[in-house]
Amino acid sequence: MEDLKEFLKTAKPSVSVIGLGGAGCNITTWIKQKGISGARIIAANTDANHLALQKADKLILIGEKLCRGMGCGGYPEKGSEATRENAAEIKKEIEGANLLFIVAGLGGGTGTGAAPVVADIASELGILTIGCVTVPFDMEMSRREKARDGIKLLTEGCDSVVVIDNSKLREAAGNLPLRDALAVANALVGSFVRNITETITQPSLVNLDYADLKAVMEKGGISAIGIGEGDGEERVSKAVSQALATPLLDISDMGATYGVLIHIVGGEDLTLEEVAVVGEQILAKTPNTRRVVWGAKVDPNLTGKVRVMAVLTGVASPFITGEQVVAQPVKELPKEVVKPMREAVEAIAKHEEEQLAVLTKPAETRKEKIERISKAAVFSREHK
Ligand SMILES: Nc1nc2c(ncn2[C@@H]2O[C@H](COP(=O)(O)OP(=O)(O)OP(=O)(O)O)[C@@H](O)[C@H]2O)c(=O)[nH]1
Ligand SMILES: [Mg+2]
């Protein structure tokens, strides 16, 4: 029993979140204030006044010599240099993490310059690293250019970079005033980080395991997020349709998505049957997808409603490549491909029971656990 407890302790992935620059730190403060189980929050900025107001487990003033606590004034090269000044400290802070979220609003100096440097440090340490960044509004033209260059550098060090276009977000939310749109972006990035962290570190209705996350994010490139919410009879299908209709980054070809990560939150009335439907609907819209993983949790405040967050990994975006958006027809998925999806969900449901039973069984090795879970949860296939 003692061995098992020890195993469960070490089997739990260690998660760190680092916010960089003004927007990045605002987002990590949002997360810290909401509370997050199982992650350590670090906030780093070149701007001492802004940093002093943040909530985090660790604050790091970067580039003290170069920026004298006064920010980077919009120059990413300065942000990179400032980060190199504190590389050893950052390395010490993130060392030992299995998963790192790098959070920033791209387009300024600090976040844009710092994020790729932190990603390189994490990559050398072998940490699974997910960048979570926003790109500036359409009206911030030169800042969008800077953000594009920043993303290209960031993808080299990160496993996946989740990109949220502030302009798309504003559009999707019905042309909110700018200030409100920024607050929504903070909440969106913040809840993405929180949801993923909590489903891999805390028991949930359907657990998303570290191995699942790794499988879908590892070769992820650029990822887009879509969100949806539904209530009433057709709540699941409404939530899914909305999530897929409004990816918060333009995608050139939805059908070419490499992987899909689905996160579902519902009230205590959420059933596994409904969870299975979500997976099928998303697969039908992304027919060439190689990997689908999902997690679901119950939020007692959400009775009657279902909230879906879909992360589409390995997408091509005209924002990054500078191409025009070409709408692609969505292919229907053959019945025989849909069926195993339901079986996979049932396997996960069974796996949940097994997890409870594990407390009375001899402990399996970490390697066996990872193999078993990836077999049950990762649905991969060859599809033309
Ligand atoms: N999501 C979000 N985006 C923000 C926020 N504030 C600014 N932004 C966006 O993020 C971009 C970068 O701004 P900051 O984060 O303030 O810049 P910085 O990284 O601190 O860089 P410097 O101030 O130049 O050192 C802006 O162009 C905005 O598009 C915020 O609170 N939330
Ligand atoms: Mg700043």
- pLDDT (tens digit, 9 = 90+) per residue, 55-69? 999 999 999 999 999
**Which residue minimizes the CA distance to atom 4 of ligand 1?**
23
Ligand 1 atom at minimum distance from 75 CA:
24
The whole-number pLDDT of residue 341 equals 37
In the predicted model, is pLDDT for residue 338 greater than 60? no
Ligand nearest to the CA of 24: 1
> How far is the centre of ligand 1, averaged over its atoms, from the C-alpha of 113 (Å)?
12
**Which residue minimizes the CA distance to atom 31 of ligand 1?**
23
Count Cβ atoms within 10 A of the Cβ of residue 117 and give its class: 0-12 exposed, 13-18 middle, 19 or more buried. Answer: buried
Q: Where are the domains of the chain?
A: 13-202, 215-380
> How far is the centre of ligand 2, averaged over its atoms, from the C-alpha of 111 (Å)?
8
Q: Which fold has domain 13-202?
A: Rossmann fold (3.40.50)
Task: For a ligand 1 pocket test, name from 182, 184, 248, 249 the mutation site with the most ligand atoms within 8 angstroms of its C-beta.
Answer: 182
pTM over 0.85, yes/no: no
What average pLDDT does the chain have? Answer: 81
Average pLDDT over residues 146-166: 95
d(CA 119, CA 37): 23
Amino acid at 298: V
- pLDDT (tens digit, 9 = 90+) per residue, 203-250? 888 888 888 899 889 877 999 998 888 888 878 778 877 787 778 888
With a pLDDT cut of 70, the percent of the chain lying above it is 82
Ligand 1 atom at minimum distance from 135 CA:
29
Ligand 1 atom at minimum distance from 73 CA:
24
In the predicted model, is pLDDT for residue 163 greater than 90? yes
Ligand 1 atom at minimum distance from 71 CA:
25
d(CA 153, CA 156): 6
- pLDDT (tens digit, 9 = 90+) per residue, 71-86? 999 999 999 999 999 9
Q: What is the CATH number of domain 215-380?
A: 3.30.1330.20
Average pLDDT over residues 16-44: 95
Pocket of ligand 1 (CB under 6 A): 21-23, 26, 46, 71-74, 105, 107-111, 134, 136, 140, 143, 166, 182, 185-186
